Every structure is written in structure tokens, then in C-alpha cells.
Amino acid sequence: MTETGKLKLNDITWGIIIPLLVGILIIALPTFLGPGAKHLFGEMSPIPVILTFGLAQMIVLGIPLLLGLGWNKWAGGAAGFLMGSVFYLAYAGLFSLDYNYYGQPQWNFFRDASMLGYIVNAILIGYIAGALSKGSSNFKRMLGAALTASLTTAVFQWVLNYTVALEPARNMTIADPPYSFFLTVVPQIALAIIVPIIVKISYGSEFLPGSRQGY
């Protein structure tokens, strides 16, 4: 058995600092950024939704997308299952508690099929991106794979929201389909542009050493 290398600053960065920053960002989104954005742009503006729920969704889908492009489809799919499951548990619990607090305990979002879609989409976005890019470091191929995966999962999620979501969530989608489609698609298009850039910059580093087998 070979001895592992000495602990480096890069290990501390990726092992402690980055996860802590992501955790702080996830907490800050609904706690500080959401109310501030509503005050600045108004209750009816789509910007507060994009800056809170949209950014949280970008984090959850961005990690499997990054691993799908940077490593392989299996890493992307596995990361998607983990991230999607956490997102499902967190938001289903949050919405269920909110409705229970306001005297509507009949809405149990743990049985909302559209919520389960976030687990499926997180798996799909990582797997599709990895399957289409096949470990390529060519930026155009990674961008095409990321856009295909992101748009596919965005449309899939919107269809779930429109057809099988619980009544409160479905009514918001049906009330203004173009607006709800815009809110679903825009964050994922941004994600599909940002992640390939990160992968391209990181390629050849310790994070992405360039030997990505099993795609």
C-alpha cells in the first residue's frame, strides 16, 4: 500500500474552504439575498426567484454537470443522485412545513412527483453531459453537451411542474406558463455556459488531471 502524499493547501481549499463557502451560500440565499432582492426589485420581479431558488438549483445541478464533463458520466450521475436527493428532502420539507404553518397540512410535498423530478434531473444532467462529451477537453463539445443536458432537464422539469405537481405548485405554473418556463430554463442556460468554462480552466490541474477514464 502506497503512502498518501502530504497535505497541501489545495487539499484544504477543496476539502474544507470550498464546501464551507457553498454551505454558507446555500443558507444566505433564502435568508439574506432573497428578502434583499425582493426589496430592491419588487415582489413581482423574477430576479428574486432566480437569485434564490434558481441559484440553489444551479448549485445542485452544477456539481453533477461539472463532474460529468470533467470526469465521466458515472461520476456525474452518482453525484446527481446525492445532490438531487438532498435538494428533494430540503425543499419538500420546507414547503410542507410552510403550508402546515399556514393551516394547510394536507399538502405533503414529499409525495409531489415534480419534487422527485429534481433527483431524476440531477442524475440525468451529469450522465447526459458525460455521455455526450466523452471526456473531451474541447470547449465547443463540452458547451454543446452542457447545453443539451441542461435544456433537456429544464424542459423535463417544467413539464412535471405543469402536469403532475401538487395543486399549489401546479397552479403557479399553469397561471403563467411562459413566465414559469423562463424561470426554469434561464438558470440552467447560465449553468450550461459557466460550468464548461470552469472545467476548461481546471483541466490539467489536480482537480482535473486529464486522465478521465470510464466515460
* Residue 34 pLDDT grade (very low, low, confident, very high; cuts 50, 70, 90): low
Fill in the amino acid letter for 139: F
Residue 10 maps to a domain: no
In terms of residue numbers, what domain contains 187?
46-202
Contact (Cβ atoms closer than 8 angstroms) between residue 110 and residue 153: no
Crossing angle of the two packed helices 177-202 and 55-70, in degrees rounded to 10: 40
Contact 150, 65 (CB under 8 A): yes
Residue 131 is assigned to a structural domain of this protein:
yes
Is residue 150 in a domain?
A: yes
Answer yes or no: is pLDDT of 138 > 50.
yes
**Ranges 57-66, 138-147, 169-178, 206-215: which has the least confidence:** 206-215
Report pTM: 0.80
Contact 125, 150 (CB under 8 A): yes
Tell whether 34 is covered by a domain.
no
pLDDT band at 211 (very low <50, low <70, confident <90, very high): very low
In a domain, 30, yes or no: no
User: Alpha-carbon distance 167 to 155, whole Å?
Assistant: 19
Domain presence at residue 192: yes
Answer yes or no: is pLDDT of 98 > 50.
yes
- Mean pLDDT over residues 111-127, rounded? 93
pLDDT, average across residues 2-15:
69
Grid cell 403532475 is found at: 164
Cα–Cα dist 166/111, whole Å:
8
With contact defined as beta carbons under 8 Å apart, do 160 and 113 qualify? yes
* Count of domains forming the chain: 1
pLDDT for 209 = 52
Residue 152 or 169, more confident: 152
Residue 22 has pLDDT above 80, yes or no: no
Q: Is residue 176 part of a domain?
A: yes
Decide if 31 is inside a domain. no
CATH at residue 114: 1.10.1760
Whether residue 76 is predicted with pLDDT greater than 90 in this model: the reply is yes
